[in-house]
Structure 1
Amino acid sequence: MDEIRTVEANGVEFGYLSMGSGPLALCLHGFPDSAHTWRHLLPELAERGYHAVAPFMRGYAPTGVPADGAYEGGALVADVVALHEALGGGSDAVVIGHDWGALPVYGATAFAPGRWRKAVAMAMPPLAAMLGTFFQYDQLKRSFYIFLFQTGLAEVAATSDGFFEGLWRDWSPGYAAGQDVAHVKDCLRDPANLAAAIGYYRAMLGTTPPTGRYEREQAAAGGVAGRPVLYLHGLDDGCLGAELVKDAGAHLPEGSRVEYVAGAGHFLQLERPREVNDLVLGWLDA
């Protein structure tokens, strides 16, 4: 699984980890993270007969920095649809995403529902589900980094000693994240890659205007149409408080389900791999 392969999709050369053969199971990471975040799930997906693939998201080395400089949600949706095509996915493919990787799960299954059988999203509910609670004081404190990333100090802060370690410590209290932070630093060591990861946040709040290339995909990312979604959230999430997702089910497609994972923070797939894998595999098997 440690062997990194490459594939071109949507004009970007993606590095990816993979295991097994069969229907495509695309696993998408978030920030600050890497494809290695799926090291517990990929082998079990492969054992269940899937071609389990975890790409490094656009801008995260060894994936290339996109020439169009696009980091809006629609670009991520387009990437996922293109990866499905490039990797030979069929209508029986499934897609799984955590944090930023959850956004294209919602968007890709709405934009191209015929490509996917089922979907799983973790630790980032549909944006509409958070509108009523995101600006509460406690959540604004947790989200300081989003506003920091709109400024010219973002890269300076992110390269300071302990920045990524601090985020992981706050978001997943008690989890030993040394291995994971090392992978993050490998992905974002080059200033161009770090600027790309921060670019997701600048595009999210409009600091960087949209490119206009992905309007249809962007519209799909904000809808609720699509394939059924299993949504998972850690009860101890220090990035997005569990209270933010209490209405998540109302913003998911018909047939979806919401589950909370006790004793888990933001990186629940790493903190409670047995529980999370069982939930995911049970959902896909059902």
Structure 2
Amino acid sequence: MGSLTTFPKNRFVDGKHVPLDEENVIDRMIRARVACHNVADWIDSDEEVSSMGRKKGPDPVVLTQEELEAKAAAGEGTFGHTAVVEPADLELYETFMYPPLRMPEKPEVMVSYWDMNDGTVTRFMEGRIMVKALCPDGIESWLVISVPVPNFHTCLEGNRWGWPKYVCDEMTVEKDHSECIYEGKPSLTIDFTPKEFDEATIRQLEERGTEGGNTVSFHMSIHSAGLPTLMRQGSGPRNKSDDGTYYAEWEAGMVKIWGRPEDKWSRLLPENCEVPGVWMRRVRTGANVGGGMRKL
């Protein structure tokens, strides 16, 4: 007695999405739908590393110093905060160590919040609350446990990978104060105050890097029966000097982190949590990409 059209027919030829550059939200939604099918197909395949349904292309072009400086001067690059916290509640922390994950040698919580700053249609922000875990391959990686995002297609894609994303009312990433608003109230806030540290602290922050290339999550298959699949986005930890990044900005300081009490992860934070961390803006060089999903 009626019909609904979500995607217009002119977006498809012979049942395949027209490979246009994303120009609007409809294009972005279609990409999210395609990504979900590709993830499901990969989970049920024998492939160790996800190709997302694409054939292997040429190696990415590595940008020159001049090209990187030009991009930095133009304001390009992902920017945001990252900091690592010693957990206040080890019993709660251990509840996140789902088999086959195990407690790491030194339990830690990482909080990052990024504005990907990559255009208009594809631009999005993403907070990442993570706990360090020892994986079956012996690598310590960051298990994502809470991920605020700004829209439903980004949320859908992340949920498909096993990232526990939720859609915020409003998201803001600024150097001095960043926040996520959910159901009319803050769910995550980060305040940054620049500070000079001794060489040992700066070196520790540089060696720690970010979570890039070293996050893990569990995929729950809906296409076939079976156990959850543990996967890593990337190949393992990378520090500031070897992550294929040009730093347009990198500044150490004190990072004050708050999470709403209703969210279980917030109990991992010590009271009045404030720790050394970093504000940065980074441009990818094209080297050391290695960010694909791989099964563990």
TM value normalised by structure 1: 0.27
Instruction: Specify which structure has the higher proportion of helix.
Output: 1
TM value normalised by structure 2: 0.27
